[in-house]
Structure 1
Amino acid sequence: MEHPNDKQPWTLARNAMGRLVWTGLDGVAHVGVVPVRAFPLGAPDDGLSLVSPDGHELVWIDRLDALPEPDRTLIADELAAREFVPVIERLVGVSTFSTPSTWTVETDRGATTFVLKAEEDIRRLNGSALLIASAHGIAFRIRDRFGLDRASRRLLERFL
């Protein structure tokens, strides 16, 4: 499949086994390529590589949204299958204001509880975003801590 604008000298497809196949100008097909974000949390759509199964970068992509629709969808679907970072939309409660504490939250994927082992497990990201690591290693994201409801902000402030 060639792209009509010829700016993209490679093709991307999914084979019958569901694996991504990248084919470069030389016509060599690389089966099982993996998209890897350069800045998965700070700038998820800026800069990603398609990496061969043996770990070599095949192509650098400056912006995901600059790709033609079929390729963008293939890469986004592959990333979604590999990445799991629920977004906290509301803090319902915390068991104690010292750590470890059990947090009850509502996320974009439903309600859940997790244990925060230490205050150092809350990391500040760009702007007012936060990344919170649970005791089981699951990362939760707060896109904008100032955008949370008042009760959630008050609970969160006790840990920052």
Structure 2
Amino acid sequence: MRFWRGRAYVMVSADGYVARTNGDVSWRTQPPALGRRHEPGMGSRAAHEWGTFHPVIDHVVMGRGSYERRHELGLWCRDAEPVVLSASMPDGQGVPVVRCVDEAAAWLNRVRAREVFVQGTTVLPAFLRRGFVDELTIATMPVLLGGGIPLLASDRDVHLELRATHGTEAGVVHATYRVL
């Protein structure tokens, strides 16, 4: 039995990539000043934005690469305890390390996690395959990359139920889904 809710917040390009092939994600936060005027829109309910998503998170599950990047940059969710899912990262790095998705789920149950941010291009698909993601928010950025690392490379469909959506003046379209 699982006592926590798996949630993901992902920024993607309009053509579905989370990063360029070389891992660059600067397009997420450094859009060119082109004098664009986006028309914000609203669905029947506003979807999550980062500012409404991260305050309720109490744990973050991420892969080694995401952990190392976040550690270098000092980027953490406020009051969220990290756990790293990695087969190669040694223990004793100052953060709990689990070796597989089932071990991560058991660890989250043991520490009485409630709202778990599932993050990373390998971790998110693995958690989706096991049915451990309950909610997915996708922030679609107004840029086409033409290639890169896809949001999800999977051999099976993941069905979603739209729960909320809105567009911002920055041209970002936020959509929150329940994972079926």
Q: Same fold (TM over 0.5)?
A: no
Structure with a larger share of its residues in strand: 1
The TM-score range, normalised by the shorter chain, is: under 0.3
Q: TM-score, normalised by structure 1?
A: 0.23
